[in-house]
Structure 1
């Protein structure tokens, strides 16, 4: 058992195999536009947990703990843990946005509402605000945080002053994303209750 559970890919494959069993057991006869929309909602939430979970890991655990880590142990984080976490962070953000846009653009539980939400039309302002906050956050991940983290972690060549400045910039935009995540999550969760 320990061998199986030590292999993340095997655990994920088993989890998705179990998901297929659950889907066919509960919804085997319900495959239509509405179900596809619901399945994309599941993927959207799953990728969102990866993205926001790592955002919170960086801000609640890694950033506050790094000053307390002895200098000889810091390379373990900066060379191994942070680059791996940042890979899942970036692609979690990308896949959350793509599945969210797909949900808003496909039929299913309601008519497609992508344009209405992004332009804050009546009945779509709450979800529209959530979408714009998420798009800003994803932009920050890919075009501010990641380029600065590459310099700060030494993934790309940079002098010490540039590394320090990049680390500060990445931290500030990570904190901005933490700030934005609170109203963004609220909008996503309350969209059907507060549709305005």
Structure 2
């Protein structure tokens, strides 16, 4: 019953996370595009930086943006913050229900670093907090005024964090933490910087004072950071479904490529929205394409020469499966973490193993994603035998 309740909690949190995440990302994309489409026109209200004419849903919209703030605020001022807050809250809830509660399964890989589930959770919380603190201090430092240098250091910092997580957690635990770290930075940008700065501007207006333009400038900087990090963080958050990413021996390098690809695509879209000529921004697409090709080549399946000539009997391969797979992948799993076989994959007979051979090959032969956390201690030789049996079919 406990597993049943946990599954429903996981489903509802995941559903909510998707809904609020889509809304937050859509809002981010819209306002960056709006900012970049603003134009100075002959007739504008005093203090207006630029305006934009837009058409959508059968109607026309005329939007103004003030250089700092209008002289007076309307009563129906709208704030865009809860989608960001709830995206982080639901995401952290998923991290708890999926990874913290089952830390010994999903986070710990004793072949990487022997530790308890509690230690893995403590490291997770501390690393997310430390990542935000380091990023925030960097942005507040003089380096924060130099956009190219700041972007490079943030890029290197995220890749370094990916390498560090890979030295601590299982493959899927490492990449989900890269996503959680970037997501924390993005949400805390809204919670700790963008919204508080906007409140200071509002307080100045209410008090009849001229707002300090630095607050808007700082908020815009963090908003742009969030915009460029959006595409990479989305892929990180779904990476646990793809062992070719999570369990690649150089998954930190894949993180670097994902950051590069996402940033190039986002930059192309942003500058296109700003009205830049295609020739000025076309360079971003080949860079993204090269990054993608390198990632594809890195993750391409390779034939293990150790398989060549190896003969493995059905009885031997089923012995391996019974030792390492059937505790979870059975019609009635004996593993305490599962009430039914994950994804409905049952491996109780030779026919079952043949049916799901491609999945087994991807998860347990070409990567060490399975068994989860290698709880049962599956050896490289056993993986080779399993691979040879599959290759011979």
TM range (shorter): 0.5 to 0.7
**Whose radius of gyration is greater, 1 or 2?**
2
Aligned CA RMSD, in angstroms, stands at 3.4
> Which structure 1 residue ranges, 5 or more long, are not aligned?
1-30
How far apart, in 2, do the equivalents of 1:51 and 1:117 lie?
28
Q: Does 1:71 align with 2:122?
A: no
Structure 1 length-normalised TM: 0.66
Aligned to 1:92: 83
Q: How far 1:139 sits from its partner (Å)?
A: 1.0
Aligned to 1:54: 27
Q: Which has the higher contact order (CA 8 A, sep 6+)?
A: 1
Alignment of 1:118-137 (within 5 A): 118=124, 120=165, 121-123=169-171, 124-137=173-186
Q: Does 1:156 align with 2:130?
A: no
Structure with the higher helix share, 1 or 2: 1
Please tell me whether the aligned partners of residues 21 and 84 of structure 2 are also in contact (alpha carbons under 8 angstroms): yes
**Gap change, CA 1:129 and 1:161, over 3 Å in 2:** same
Q: How far 1:83 sits from its partner (Å)?
A: 4.3
Query: Bigger shift: 141-150 or 70-79?
Result: 70-79
Q: Does 1:187 align with 2:262?
A: no
**Gap change, CA 1:45 and 1:116, over 3 Å in 2:** farther
Q: How far 1:65 sits from its partner (Å)?
A: 3.8
Q: How far 1:116 sits from its partner (Å)?
A: 8.4
Please tell me whether the aligned partners of residues 204 and 211 of structure 2 are also in contact (alpha carbons under 8 angstroms): no
Structure with the higher strand share, 1 or 2: 2
Aligned to 1:32: 5
Aligned to 2:121: 115
User: Per the alignment, in what secondary structure is the counterpart of residue 71 of structure 1?
Assistant: coil
Structure 2 length-normalised TM: 0.35
Q: How far 1:66 sits from its partner (Å)?
A: 4.3
Please tell me whether the aligned partners of residues 117 and 125 of structure 1 are also in contact (alpha carbons under 8 angstroms): no
Q: How far 1:91 sits from its partner (Å)?
A: 1.2
Q: Does 1:165 align with 2:214?
A: yes
> Which structure 2 residue ranges, 5 or more long, are not aligned?
47-62, 108-119, 128-164, 248-393
Q: Deviations over 1:68-101 (max 9, x none)?
A: 4732674799646x941x3xx3211111111111
How far apart, in 2, do the equivalents of 1:46 and 1:33 lie?
20
Q: How far 1:132 sits from its partner (Å)?
A: 0.6
How far apart, in 1, do the equivalents of 2:178 and 2:98 lie?
21
Q: How far 1:53 sits from its partner (Å)?
A: 1.5
Count of aligned pairs between the two proteins: 159
